[in-house]
A and B are shown apart, each in its own frame.
Chain A
Amino acid sequence: MSTATAGTETAIPAGVYRIDPVHSTVGFEVKHMISTFRGSFRTYDATLDNSNGAARLAGSAEVASVDVRDENLAGHLQSPDFFDAANSPRIEFSADDVRVAADGSVAVDGELTIRGITKPIRATGRYEHVEADMGGGERIGLNLESTVDRRDYDINWNAALPKGGFALGNDVKLVVNLELAPEEA
């Protein structure tokens, strides 16, 4: 589905493309105290399906695979204070509207599900297409960002600070760099 006129879009080649997990990252950034905290997920999946004329993107990340630099924090993130992994082990995303402009900029309107709560989000970024990489294979790159308010997904934990304010920001930037290859026949 697109309202753009012909000639202003880049066509994604027809086909089904699967994630190359070695060359992809699924991460997040959030303001913590005075710096920016960054984390990522080690286990995730993504598929770009453009086999029926409309590009659809679907992906998921395993909450248990969250990678942060403090194992106590990693444990805390599994708890009901954050992702509630016991009840919602997976973060899911799906979009049936992936639009690539002539300059390679991409906009994806989809739905993000965390803790069983589904909300619409828009992600934007860059689209890359390589006909043949070093190994001769076709590759698609999707580098996407979106910012969500974690409270929309019932992730409300925080800690008050002595000078006022709170330790953790509410806006979380999702940073997803996907490298996709044609699905094996």
Chain B
Amino acid sequence: MKVLGISGSLRRDSHNTGLLRAASELLPPAAGLVVYDGLGELPPFSEDAERDAPEPVVDLKAAIAEADAVLFATPEYNHSIPGQLKNAIDWVSRPVLDNPLSGKPVAVVGASTGSFGAVWAQADLRRVLGALHARVIDEELPVAYAGEAFSADGSLAEAEIADRLEGILTGLVRAAEPALVAA
């Protein structure tokens, strides 16, 4: 089973990309996680550019279509989703009835260096993904004080946070399983 990880941060040493790497170690053995790294290549969305969609957009849509499930890790900018992540979703959403996230099991986690762990960005992202008819896991993982949340090996330092992430991943993989059986 293939899980696509999409980090909402473009920062080289992003805590949220780190959160995806930590998640890859907690997935059930039958599942593997591939981290998408093309977010920074996407141009700003414009209807004018849709007819001959830019290659990075085609690649992102294909990566989502090929995945059995998608795990988003989002930072929080001004209490909401980072612009570059919203931009990516706006590209993917068109046309909405035939978008690759429609019916796709997705989960949202997030990390921030402050004390709230991107909890509002996660809530907004779940709402947006719902608009694309994704099958959104109704859970959140607010990783606060992200600068100290990871051990040297990249794993989550606190067992209760790691356990909760593992639970979310189990739910995500379980949600994706019926699709595999049907395929």
Interface residues of A (CB under 8 A from B): 32-36, 69-70, 73, 159, 161-163, 167
Q: State A36–B158 Cα separation when bound (angstroms).
A: 9
Q: Please choose the segment from B62-70, B97-105, B140-148 that sits at the chain A interface, where 4 or more of its residues have CB less than 8 A away.
A: B140-148
The answer to whether A163 and B116 touch (CB under 8 A), given A34-B160, A35-B158, A36-B160, is no
A-B contact count (CB 8 A): 38
* Interface membership of chain B positions 95-130, coded 1 if the CB is closer than 8 angstroms to chain A and 0 otherwise: 000000000000000000011110110110000000
Complex contacts, A69 vs chain B, CB 8 Å: 145, 148
A104 to chain B, nearest CB (A): 29
Q: Give 11 CB contacts A-B under 8 Å.
A: A33-B117, A33-B119, A34-B117, A34-B161, A73-B115, A159-B116, A162-B119, A162-B120, A162-B140, A163-B140, A167-B116
When the two chains form the complex, which single residue of B114, B123, B145, B164 contacts A34, counting CB atoms closer than 8 Å?
B164
User: How many chain B residues touch the partner (CB < 8 A)?
Assistant: 18
Name the residue of chain A whose CB is nearest to the CB of B144.
A33
Once the chains are docked, how many angstroms separate the CA of A167 from the CA of B122? 15
Smallest CB-CB A-B distances: 5 pairs: A162-B123, A33-B142, A35-B158, A33-B144, A35-B160
Instruction: Report chain B residues within 8 Å CB of A34.
Output: 117, 141-142, 160-161, 164
Q: How far is the CA of A161 from the CA of B141 in the complex (A)?
A: 12
Q: Give B138-170 interface residues, CB cut-off 8 Å to A.
A: 140-142, 144-145, 148, 158, 160-161, 164
Given contacts A159-B116, A162-B119, 7 further A-B contacts (CB under 8 A): A33-B116, A33-B117, A33-B119, A35-B158, A36-B160, A163-B123, A163-B140
Residue of A nearest to B156 (CB): A35
Residues of B within 8 A of A167 (CB): 115-116, 119
